[in-house]
Every structure is written in C-alpha cells, then in structure tokens.
C-alpha cells in the first residue's frame, strides 16, 4: 500500500525526499551540468570583477575568488552526479569555491545577486548561442538554394495552385520564393537575438539590491547589448522564450510545406528531383527501390521542432508573472531540442539540394500540358483584339472545355475554333493567325512576357537573384558581427580578470 508510512520510510522526513531527488532534482542537475556550468562560471567571473571595481570587495578577495573560479572551471562536470548534500549545481559549485578560498571569501561572491538573476542570465547566454547556430545553418541552406536557382533560371515548369497545374513558371522563380521566406526568417531571428541579448544581472531576487553595483558592467563583460532594465521584468518576463519559439515554429512550418513539395517531386510519378546516392536507401526486398529516406527522416525532425516550440506556450500560458520554476531548467531544453531538430533539418536539406539533379526535360514537357498557358491566350485577346478580360476569359474557357471534350490538346487549337467560339459568345468572329496562337500558347513566351517586378521572366529572376545574393552577404556579415561581439566580450572579461590578478589595487 502506498501509505503515508510507506512514503516516509522510502523518502525520509527531511528535504530532499528521495522521490523529489529522483524525479526532479537529479534530472534538473543533469540539465544544469550539461548546459549551464560554463555560463555560471562566466557570470561569476564578471560579477566578481564588477564587485571589485565598485569597491564592494577587496583586491585580495577578488583575486582569491577569480583564482578559485579558474580552478573550478577546469573540473569536468560530466563526471558529477546529483549529490543530495547540495540542492543543485549552484550550491555544489559554491561549496567547491568555499573549499578553495574559504567560506567567508566565497560567500562574498554572492553579494548583490540571487539564483534568480543568475538562472535567467544563464538561460539567455545559452539560448543566444544556439540561435546563432540556427542562423548559421539557415544561411548555408539559403546559399544552396540561391545556387540552385541560378542554375535553373531557364528551367520551365508548371506552377501549381490548389495542387493543380496553373501557369508556366521556372524552377528558379519557385526556389527564390521559398528562399525569400527563409530570408524573412533570418530577419526574425535577428530580432530574437536582440530580445534575448539583454542582461538580467543585478535584478537579484526581483528588486535589485542596496549595494552600489554596476549592472551595465556585468552585461558588457558577458557580451550583452544592454539590460532588461526593470528588475521585475528581468525575473518575470519570459517573452524572449516565446518569441524564439514562435520564430522556430514559423520557419519550420515553411520548411514542412517545402518538404511536402520536395517529396512529391522525388516520386516516380513526378520524376522532377533525383537524389544523389548518399541520401537514398534501397528496400530490403525490392532491389529497384530508391527511397528518399534522408528527406523522410527530415520530415519528422521538422515536426518535432514545431512540437517542441509549441510546448513552450503550452507550459507557460497560465503561469504567474513572477519568479516561477515553470520557466526554468525543465522548460529551457524544449527550446534547445527544437533548435537541435531545426539544425539537423537544415543541414540535411543543404546536402540534398546541393547535390540533387533536376529533370528539366520533364518539367518543360509538363509546361506544355493541361492548357496552363490559357491565361496568355486570354491576355492576347485583350491586348491585341480589344476585348474586356471577362469576355476573353469566357471565350478561352469555352475553347478549353471544347478541346478537352474532344480529346484534343492546346497545340490543336486552330484559328477556326477561336473564330467559331468567339462568334457564338460575342456574335462576331475574332480572328487570330496560327503564329499568334502558337506564341500565346508557348510556355517560354508566357514566362518571358511576365517581366513585371517579381515575375518569372529570366531578366527579372536574375535581378532578384543578384539582390538576394547581396542580402545573404549582408546577413552573413551581420551574423559574423554577432559572433565576434561575444568573442570580444570573452577577451574583455579575461583582460579585466588579469588586471585584477596582476595589477595594483584601485585607488
């Protein structure tokens, strides 16, 4: 029986109970050591530097603390397991520091800070790094797509609406459309980094401190762009998480739609994309099979990325606006997993699309089928014969129905058919020469005349391709600046530490 007596015998009567250890504290400790040990040490270094510069601790105390932190930094936390003697990793490391520099000196490091602002700072530091990794993988995939588009400016294909062949376009036009959505995703991630990269340090538990700390200095030493100024917001606000989750969900939803098209194009029936051998598997019984397993495995990765991102909202939506464990170690890994699956998908797609072959002949053939140039025939009746579009649309629609009923193709449309049907609808004959009809029904001509901004005409596609290439270069430069800023902050922190360890005390 699961009675009170049984539980007390199993768990004990003092904190922490064994069930609490096994189900909560030990898993949290594993998350902490996997993700937050390094950031915690960096935060502690920056805090010690600031405390000394603000004359809150002495030079010797700062030197001892920094030296101790360097020793702890060399410890391989992967070898550590949860020890119920310490509530979490924070107290375990604090104990390590006490054993190195003494309890009194170690205790001075905790002046004007709390696990609350430390935790949020750790979360932001880890998340910003992971978002930068997504952005890097995203830009590689964009580069692959732009290269593929450049190779297929003149690859004529049917464009689809409502899953049906609609009008002729080009593969470049289609690929650029998807690339443009990814470019917007990159811009959204830039804003995510801006939101994340604000320091909560100095908020302490929630109302700051009575000590004369310099919040800007610790933020600077850790590479933050500024502060989460309101200390209550520093601890309670979690929109940096939901904003990141939203952008991950948006981008992966676009990726999933692109995956749907891609897997269709890989089928024998479509016969558009031919995947390179490293990315296909054969059947255990059917030797002729070329299964696009790389993409099939990528599709659930994208779905899992979306699911993990959505879980952020599910967990947070009804929690209090304050310090609450729901936003802490048990929540953060959901975002990390979403990012992990996203990066896997982007890397796989980059390799597949960099090496796939395009069946240009079959695409061109299909662009001649299904009367998908009918819009241009209607436009010719408007431009050259002065009809309203409603009249030209009705005439062209009737022509298509007539041809389908008689089992004929677009190439079989004759001047006589156009004359007879226009007379039936308008009461007068519209005459087109065979050469005019042939040109109107030619998918290449259809594309060439659509040179309006954003259209599939080669010269317009080339302009867009050049523009997108320049945008990608700017985005890559911006990403590099973000990465370098964090490296500069690391150097700045190391220099500040060296100045304390080696130099004269502050006047």
Residues serving a catalytic function are 162, 283
Residues 6+ apart with CB under 8 A from 405: none
E runs forming strands in 305-433: 357-358
Q: Which residues pair with 357 in a beta bridge?
A: 274
Strand partners, 170: 156
CB 25, CB 17: distance < 8 Å: no
DSSP SS3 for 157: strand
Distance between alpha carbon 220 and the CA centroid of its chain, in Å? Answer: 27
Distance in angstroms (rounded) separating the CA atoms of residues 42 and 219: 11
The answer to whether 286 touches 377, Cβ cutoff 8 Å, is no
Using left for φ > 0, alpha for ψ between -120 and 50, and beta otherwise, residue 58 falls in: beta
- How far apart CA 98 and CA 106 sit, in angstroms, is 5
Nearest to 132 by CA among 390, 397, 480: 480
For residue 503 the two structure tokens come to 């130099």
- Helices (H), ranges, 151-214: 171-196
Q: Do residues 234 and 182 touch, judged by C-beta distance below 8 A?
A: no
User: Is residue 346 within 8 Å of residue 140, measured between CB atoms?
Assistant: yes
Identify the burial level of 241 via C-beta atoms within 10 angstroms of its C-beta, where 0-12 means exposed, 13-18 middle and 19 or more buried.
Answer: buried
| CA pair distance 281, 472, nearest whole angstrom | 34
Instruction: Please name the residues in contact with 66: beta carbons below 8 A apart, sequence gap of 6 or more.
Output: 45, 48, 49, 497, 500, 501
Collapsed DSSP state (helix, strand, coil) of residue 156: strand
User: Who contacts 167 (Cβ-Cβ below 8 Å, separation ≥6)?
Assistant: 158, 159, 372, 373, 375, 446
| β-pair type (198-199, 226-227) | parallel
| Selection from 31, 89, 121 nearest residue 329 by Cα | 31
**Centroid of chain to Cα 420:** 57
């Amino acid at each position: 029986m699961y009675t009170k007596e049984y539980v007390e015998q199993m768990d004990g009567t003092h904190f922490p109970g064994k069930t609490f250890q096994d189900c909560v504290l030990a898993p949290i400790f594993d998350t902490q050591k996997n993700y937050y040990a390094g950031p915690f040490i960096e935060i502690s270094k920056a805090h010690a530097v600031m405390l000394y510069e603000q004359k809150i601790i002495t030079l010797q105390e700062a030197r001892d603390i920094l030296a101790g932190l360097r020793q702890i930094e060399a410890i391989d936390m992967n070898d550590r397991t949860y020890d119920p003697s310490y509530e979490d990793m924070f107290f375990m490391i604090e104990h390590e520091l006490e054993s190195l520099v003494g309890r009194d000196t170690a205790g001075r490091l905790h002046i004007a800070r709390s696990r609350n602002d430390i935790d949020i700072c750790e979360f932001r530091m880890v998340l910003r790094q992971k978002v930068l990794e997504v952005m890097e993988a995203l830009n590689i995939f964009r580069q692959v797509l732009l290269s593929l588009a450049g190779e297929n400016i003149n690859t004529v294909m049917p464009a689809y609406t409502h899953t049906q062949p609609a009008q002729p376009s080009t593969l470049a036009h289609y690929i650029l459309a998807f690339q443009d959505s990814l470019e917007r995703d990159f811009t959204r991630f830039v804003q995510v980094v801006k939101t994340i990269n604000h320091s909560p340090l100095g908020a302490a538990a929630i109302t700051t401190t009575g000590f004369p700390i310099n919040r800007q200095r610790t933020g600077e030493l850790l590479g933050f762009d500024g502060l989460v100024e309101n200390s209550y917001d520093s601890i309670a606000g979690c929109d940096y998480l939901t904003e990141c989750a939203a952008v991950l969900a948006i981008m992966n939803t676009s990726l999933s739609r692109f995956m749907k098209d891609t897997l269709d194009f890989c089928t024998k029936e479509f016969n558009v994309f031919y995947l390179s051998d490293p990315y296909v598997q054969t059947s255990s019984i059917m030797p002729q099979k070329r299964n696009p397993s790389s993409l099939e495995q990528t599709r659930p990765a994208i779905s899992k990325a979306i699911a993990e991102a959505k879980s952020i909202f599910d967990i947070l939506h009804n929690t209090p606006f304050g310090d609450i464990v729901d936003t802490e170690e048990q929540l953060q890994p959901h975002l990390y997993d979403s990012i992990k699956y996203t990066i896997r998908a982007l890397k796989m797609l980059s390799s597949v699309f960099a090496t796939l072959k395009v069946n240009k002949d079959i695409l061109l053939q299909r662009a001649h089928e299904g009367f998908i140039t009918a819009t241009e025939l209607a436009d010719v009746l408007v431009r050259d014969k002065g009809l309203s579009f409603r009249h030209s649309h009705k005439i062209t629609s009737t022509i298509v129905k007539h041809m389908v009923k008689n089992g004929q193709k677009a190439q079989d449309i004759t001047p006589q058919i156009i004359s007879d049907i226009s007379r039936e609808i308008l009461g007068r004959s519209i005459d087109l020469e065979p050469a005019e009809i042939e040109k109107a029904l030619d998918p290449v001509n259809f594309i060439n005349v659509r040179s309006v901004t954003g259209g599939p005409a080669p010269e317009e596609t080339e302009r867009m391709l050049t523009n997108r290439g320049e945008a990608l270069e700017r985005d890559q430069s911006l990403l590099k600046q973000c990465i370098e800023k964090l490296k500069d902050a690391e150097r700045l922190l190391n220099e500040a530490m060296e100045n304390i360890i080696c130099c004269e005390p502050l006047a």
